[in-house]
Structure 1
């Protein structure tokens, strides 16, 4: 089934869209990303990603930040807390046991909501998104992946630095945390 042909979520069928928010420019979101955001009931994302996607979210969407930002969470909790995009938004019941994004995502989808789990860059390059996708697959929660522009490609492009030349030189990405 094509991601754009997915049935609308009803009370018994939720759905998760793992969405790549790109390197930080709302203009680099794909058309499919904008479409998914316009139909979302719940957005789950880090604070910096929310700033990129919230302009495309429909009015009344509930937003669940995954980072423990003291300006969003009550002091000392470290637990994701619910915030809303605008004054007409309605809160979503966040279970007390919700301690991670995977749990938040799956609980909202199981409740029949259309959930957008937005990550910086591309979801295929995000370790946590990959784990959340596997958790959804194991739990039978339907999901789709909407690619985004990876920072490793978008940043050099913005700087005017081509990643390939006429001779087709290879590009290699090295994770500095594991490089020796």
Structure 2
């Protein structure tokens, strides 16, 4: 029962993390390139005020849930949960050391002006964003597999044992 609850928490938190990053990558990212720079910078700086605590919380719960599942399971499930934990950790590290420093620069640019190489810096932010989105999505998929695969294995083994005794 405890493992089922942990799986539920890990899958839900990692799904929310991947979904939030995915929404940003698919909708916000391309839109940022289509609006005037001053609008993008102002919106980006304001968005990060809310985004920072929400995304840090989502990453913390996703990482803790994945790690707890790693510690509670064995075999293939443990390997998948451990991989998911590493991927969520990678999302955190990319965010902390890639996106966050650039967000701090954008915050300054929003009140002053962007440097001559702003486009290169913003493209680097996009690369970090795609990386953390991909790692979060793969972590989510791995945890979904841990949640779904055991049910299929039980059904298959149940039907095999049922046919063997017939």
TM-score of the two chains, using structure 2 as the length reference: 0.24
Q: Which of the pair is proportionally richer in strand?
A: 1
Q: Which has the higher contact order (CA 8 A, sep 6+)?
A: 2
TM-score of the two chains, using structure 1 as the length reference: 0.23
Q: Which of the pair is proportionally richer in helix?
A: 2
Q: Which has the larger radius of gyration?
A: 2
